[in-house]
């Protein structure tokens, strides 16, 4: 597949799959691609073509993972709340919940944050999200049940 895509980018034309008799179609495209893989390592391993890498790597933009951009979490929370809270029932997060969200490592990056917010919006019972309503992974207590967690949080007066 890499060979065909590279050829299309270099020749600036593609072959129509539906009508081979009409010949090739001229194209003028720019490609924006992203990956979480180390492509130079993939080239060394033989799983990524070097020519294709250089054709795609015209203007590289490196965006660090979310765990290295904790200051972006608040803005992303606002964005995803607006996206998923269509009835505008969520007003915000308690301080404890916000602290947990900002301190979480986000191994799944922005996709994990978005999915967590979608889940929170769906399950929210009140207008301010409490720490107990966050996914268990964010709470850092994978070995504890949600009910046990809520009990402990109430016992220690944590919202």
Please name which of 65, 63, 140, 128 lies closest in space to residue 101, comparing C-alpha atoms.
140
CA distance 159 to 154: 7
Instruction: Give the predicted TM-score (pTM) of the model.
Output: 0.66
- Give percent helix, percent strand, percent coil of the chain, each to the nearest 5: 55, 5, 40
For the chain, the C-alpha Rg in angstroms (whole number) is 23
Which SS3 state, helix, strand or coil, does residue 59 take? coil
Walk along the chain (159 residues) and give the pLDDT tens digit of each residue: 888 888 888 888 888 777 666 778 898 988 888 888 889 999 999 999 999 899 888 888 888 999 999 999 999 999 999 999 998 899 999 999 999 999 899 988 999 999 999 999 999 989 999 998 999 888 875 555 666 667 766 776 765
Tokens 């978005």 belong to 114
């Amino acid at each position: 597949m890499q060979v065909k895509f590279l050829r299309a980018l270099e020749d600036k034309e593609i072959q129509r799959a539906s009508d081979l008799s009409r010949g090739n179609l001229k194209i003028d495209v720019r490609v924006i691609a992203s990956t979480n893989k180390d492509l130079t390592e993939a080239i060394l391993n033989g799983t990524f073509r070097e020519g294709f890498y250089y054709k795609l790597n015209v203007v590289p933009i490196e965006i660090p993972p979310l765990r290295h951009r904790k200051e972006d979490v608040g803005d992303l929370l606002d964005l995803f709340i607006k996206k998923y809270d269509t009835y505008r029932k969520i007003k915000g997060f308690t301080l404890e919940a916000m602290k947990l969200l900002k301190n979480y490592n986000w191994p799944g990056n922005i996709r994990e944050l978005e999915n967590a917010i979608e889940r929170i919006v769906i399950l929210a019972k009140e207008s301010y999200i409490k720490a107990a309503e966050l996914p268990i992974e964010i709470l850092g207590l994978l070995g504890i049940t949600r009910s046990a967690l809520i009990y402990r949080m109430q016992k220690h007066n944590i919202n």
